[in-house]
Structure 1
Amino acid sequence: MILITGASGQLGRLVIDNLLNTTPANQIVAAVRNPEKIADLAEKGVQIRQADYSDLDSLVAAMQGVEKVLLVSSSEVGQRVEQHRNVIHAAKEAGVALIAYTSILNADTSPLILAKEHVATENLLAESGVPYVLLRNGWYSENYTMGLATALEYGVVGCAEDGKLSTAARADYAAAAAAVLVKDGQAGKVYELVGDNAFTLSEYAAAISKVSGKTVTYHNVPEAEYTKILVGAGLPEGFAAVLADSEVGASQGGLFSDSKDLSTLIGRPTTSIEDSIKAAL
């Protein structure tokens, strides 16, 4: 059986949708804090098990009889290491044969502050003795296109300068995770997963202009100013600071790679930023 953590989240749900194309539903376990959120999956035959990243006992119980686990990184920045430690410990106790972990692009050399918790988790996996595979995900295209309405009104604002972004659609990363979970011989592998075609934020603004028919420009601002803009838009100050740091990291090459691991795993080109813009519009 294959267990997906965070199964009600955007990535976890997409992974399960992909697995249903290749794997019997009763061999898929959706681990989720609130089972009611994915009741429709139970109707398809998927096993729903209650589990919380912060509740070790619930994780151990959820993993009984499971062969492979997809550890989707927790969304609670600052608490991830302990939460991931619980998942890894539970997997070891349950005799899981493989953990696939959604890390971050080039985790061991990344300038992004977000990388610290991912590196710590990778170290926990290495120390655990449980076989594992690293899915080092680059940035989701949706990280930008979710703010498309604001971009159309005020232009694209950021502090990434001319840094290149190798983004891909969330669905691409989900398809790759599902592909790895059904393949044999994955233990020890490290996949650097990014979109096929990188772009700068100036080029992103140009792509919005092309697709929408409305002229959009990119405004590069200092990190502190960008943080204030994000806070003014309603984001918590700590999260705004993390996003601004990620933009600065992009300016240093932290979100760029020419790896073709992602398109190779999914057997097709990754979703272009233009297509992601069209979908968002």
Structure 2
Amino acid sequence: MINFNGNIVAQNDNILTQNRAFLYGDGVFETVKIVNSKILFLEDHYFRLMASMRVVRMEIPMNFTMEYLEEQILKLVQEKGLSVSARARITVFRNDGGLYLPKTNEVSFLIHATALENPSYVMNLAPYEVDLYKDFYVTKQLLSSIKSTNKMINVTGSIFAHENGLDNCVLLNDSKNVVEVLQGNLFMVMGNKLITPPVSEGCLNGVMRKQVLALAKKIEGIEVQEEIISPFDLQKADELFLTNVIMGIQPITKYRKKEFTSNFANVLVQKLNESISEN
């Protein structure tokens, strides 16, 4: 089952045959985590979705309030019996018609949801190895900071990682600086500094990225910086980890020949769960 324009319907491939998100990548999306019938970081997801729609010049319907989208997501999750712990993706796409030039800027949306094993964020200490992906580069532009349905770099990079026995890959921009990883934002710990690339470098304006930056700024003795990171800097780091809303915080244990600790990541996971339980 999926939620298509507010109606719970059987998943039907006919919905996709004229879908501009499928045909042209003319869509934007948000993936959210639901715990006990509550969407985590709902406001951040909502405003990023609205900003993404404005960037690609979609017409935002009058009923697209935060409360309406929350209701639509939870309606599907409850119908599927997934209220305790689930992930849901809402994809907004321009309505049918036209070729590259659309006939309308009006939109439809589709929501689907699947179960998650753990309501809380869990520290995964299994080996997690990454390397650079250099076949294609992320451009330093506004479109790179939003979640559009054009994710071909992430797809080809994931294939590259799988073929080379890697758990993830680090993406670079057209200046050959570090941007993010395939499934989220990248953080680097060097001494008492927590560093992540600025959004201006082309990285996704991640919702979990925002949470981690806010939590880290409250930790005594930690200096939080958004600054350019070179591939060489990664090998000098004490710790590397990636972030996204579904996974939370995933420590990277190895990059090329360098192995890393996960002490600070462990502290952040604990503080993240505490912050969620307080809200």
TM-score scaled by length of structure 2: 0.28
| Structure with greater strand percent | 2
Higher percent of residues as helix: 1
TM-score by length of 1: 0.28
